[in-house]
Amino acid sequence: MTWDQNVLRSRFCNALSEMYKSEVPLYGNLIDVVWKADAKTVQDGQKLDGLQAIDPDDVLPSRHRVERHGAIRLGTAYELATIRRMFAVMGMYPVGYYDLSLAGFPMHATAFRPKTQDALAQNPFRVFTTVLRMELLTEKTRNLAQRALAQRNIFTPRLLQLLDHAETKGGLTPEECTEFIATGLETFRWHSQATVTLDEYKILKAEHPLIADIVSFSSSHINHLTPRTIDIDLVQQLMLDEGMPAKERIEGPPKRSCPILLRQTSFKALEETVYFRDASDTFIKGSHTARFGEVEQRGYALTREGRQLYDRLLNRVNSEATKQGTTGANYDKLLAEHFEAFPDTLSALHDKNLAYFCYRLTPIGERIAKKSTSAVGEVGELTVSISELLKKEIVSYEPLTYEDFLPLSAGGIFNSNLGNGIESQSKQLIMHADPDLDGFQRCLGTHVADEFHLYSEMQRESLESCREQLQLKEI
């Protein structure tokens, strides 16, 4: 049985991209803009050293053109548990828990993604997956939502069979893989006929537009796809130059020499024609705003300490902005000012333990490793500190790329695409809910992996490999 999860994920991602480009032609234009921006950045030699360090292959256009993520929104525990099975076939596993009540939404989320560096390098596609929190809805809306969701099955019967096959036989045949892609796409396809009446849609939408988006259709349409860029500021500018309906600002940290975490922007969701059934079972024309195109620029993965500093600074910016009513360019100025407190050199990020790194032997280190005795001491006996190995240029480090998401940035992306012009920095914190990781994991039927743990294991393994090669007792 030839079943390579990485290949299947790549093929699925390509098929999804083609489907989405045909459904939302503006998304194809966005890909072209990203392509143009990256080519220009590479040509102008404006690449920052830090960016090169992130992923040297990324400057090679072929790999860079692959979509990095998409997003879907689900309604029930069954849908979440089944999507978990579907993504597992493609080597994508739930990582991280995102409490979106922080941003005022009755939802929580995880990201299904490859977990190892090798799998990420082969194809990094991941899907930000949200599920509705029924307990946060009013009774009337909850009843309506539960009724509508109980009537749909977003998975084809054939897909469900293939999931059983994959699990019981431990894989799929080549023919089954091809079928899996074709039938799996149906889960993410757009349907312009709603499953609810216009009145019901209005009730759902009045409570929250995202509830209407999740509940009113027979599939969980992909709501955006996202290529990665090496210069998001340039992409934002080019989108504006081309008259695309760009989001007002880039989410996440400000532009820096050492990019951290994730910066995102998008073109805003389009208003699309939708047909609603009325009481006499005829269709009436209405509209719905849901689907958009996004761009991401990925930076370094931060440690818990680094992330706490990021959150602290961002909270300060947001509370000051709310107090003073700061928006737009002034918000970005405020953000840049506050983020001056975040160290912006590789060595400071490393020495202050703010980011995760991958350690490697330098050519000097490799020469030492080849000899049977270590230049720094007796084989297998010595404990040498990492700072000493770095000082003697035996070992060097590169930052690890952040592979996850940011809940407040996600909130900003959601908000920009509700068709009401609310931007993240002026959002209304209407939700007073606690996170519910346990409830989420119960729906999912498994645990979500802790992203900090994954990065710190990668760092630890890289150090362990250096130790082994240098034949040291301990680093």
Query: Which positions touch ligand OOG (CB under 6 A)?
Result: 71, 73, 128, 130, 223, 264, 294, 405, 409-410, 413-414
Q: Classify strands 67-74 and 126-132 as parallel, antiparallel or unpaired.
A: parallel
Nearer to ligand OOG among residue 227 and residue 343 (C-beta): 227
CB of 109 to Ni ion, least distance (A): 11
Nearer to Ni ion among residue 292 and residue 359 (C-beta): 292
Asked if 418 and 106 touch (Cβ cutoff 8 Å), the reply is no
Residue 409 partner contact from ligand OOG, Ni ion, none using kind-dependent CB cut-offs of 5 to 8 Å: ligand OOG
Residues for the chain: how many in total? Answer: 475
Q: Is 332 in the site for Ni ion (CB under 5 A)?
A: no
Nearer to ligand OOG among residue 133 and residue 467 (C-beta): 133
CB of 222 to ligand OOG, least distance (A): 9
What is the SS3 assignment for 409? helix
Asked if 246 and 218 touch (Cβ cutoff 8 Å), the reply is no
CB of 200 to ligand OOG, least distance (A): 21
CB of 316 to Ni ion, least distance (A): 25
Residues 6+ apart with CB under 8 A from 217: 191, 194, 195
What is the SS3 assignment for 70? strand
Asked if 275 and 194 touch (Cβ cutoff 8 Å), the reply is yes
Pairwise CA distance, residues 95 & 116, whole Å: 12
Q: Which residues on neighbouring strands pair with residue 135, listed in sequence order?
A: none
Tell me whether residue 317 is exposed, middle or buried, using C-beta atoms within 10 angstroms of its C-beta: 0 to 12, 13 to 18, 19 or more.
buried
Nearest residue relative to ligand OOG (C-beta):
410
Pairwise CA distance, residues 89 & 411, whole Å: 29
CB of 71 to Ni ion, least distance (A): 5
Residue 201 partner contact from ligand OOG, Ni ion, none using kind-dependent CB cut-offs of 5 to 8 Å: none
Nearer to ligand OOG among residue 294 and residue 398 (C-beta): 294
Asked if 303 and 356 touch (Cβ cutoff 8 Å), the reply is yes
Asked if 381 and 348 touch (Cβ cutoff 8 Å), the reply is no
Residue 413's alpha-carbon distances to 106, 204, 267, 316, 320, in angstroms, are: 15, 20, 10, 20, 21
Nearer to ligand OOG among residue 110 and residue 374 (C-beta): 110
Asked if 470 and 370 touch (Cβ cutoff 8 Å), the reply is no
CB of 102 to ligand OOG, least distance (A): 13
Torsion over CA of 360, 384, 394 and 347, rounded to 10 degrees?
A: 70
CB of 226 to Ni ion, least distance (A): 5
Q: Is 404 in the site for Ni ion (CB under 5 A)?
A: no
Asked if 89 and 172 touch (Cβ cutoff 8 Å), the reply is yes
Q: Is 403 in the site for Ni ion (CB under 5 A)?
A: no
Residue 130 partner contact from Ni ion, ligand OOG, none using kind-dependent CB cut-offs of 5 to 8 Å: ligand OOG
Nearer to ligand OOG among residue 129 and residue 374 (C-beta): 129
Residue 223 partner contact from Ni ion, ligand OOG, none using kind-dependent CB cut-offs of 5 to 8 Å: ligand OOG
Nearer to Ni ion among residue 123 and residue 417 (C-beta): 417
Residue 386's alpha-carbon distances to 50, 258, 351, 370, in angstroms, are: 21, 22, 11, 20
Nearer to Ni ion among residue 187 and residue 226 (C-beta): 226
CB of 170 to ligand OOG, least distance (A): 32
Residue 405 partner contact from Ni ion, ligand OOG, none using kind-dependent CB cut-offs of 5 to 8 Å: ligand OOG
Residue 276 partner contact from ligand OOG, Ni ion, none using kind-dependent CB cut-offs of 5 to 8 Å: none
Work out which of 294, 332, 398, 404 binds Ni ion, going by CB under 5 A.
294
Contact letters for Ni ion, residues 54-83 (x by CB under 5 A):
-----------------x------------
How many residues touch Ni ion under the rule CB under 5 A: the total is 3
What is the SS3 assignment for 263? strand
260's torsion region: left (phi>0), alpha (psi -120 to 50) or beta?
A: beta
> How far out from the chain centre does Cα 219 lie?
21
Closest CA to 359 of 394, 311, 406: 394
Binding to Ni ion in span 300-329, by CB under 5 A:
none
Closest CA to 412 of 189, 31, 102: 102
Residue 300 partner contact from Ni ion, ligand OOG, none using kind-dependent CB cut-offs of 5 to 8 Å: none
Residue 354 partner contact from ligand OOG, Ni ion, none using kind-dependent CB cut-offs of 5 to 8 Å: none
Span interacting with Ni ion, options 168-176, 219-227, 274-282, 464-472, rule CB under 5 A:
219-227
Binding to Ni ion in span 226-245, by CB under 5 A:
226
Say how many Å lie between the first and final Cα of the chain, rounded. 43
Nearer to ligand OOG among residue 145 and residue 470 (C-beta): 145
Binding site for Ni ion (CB under 5 A): 71, 226, 294
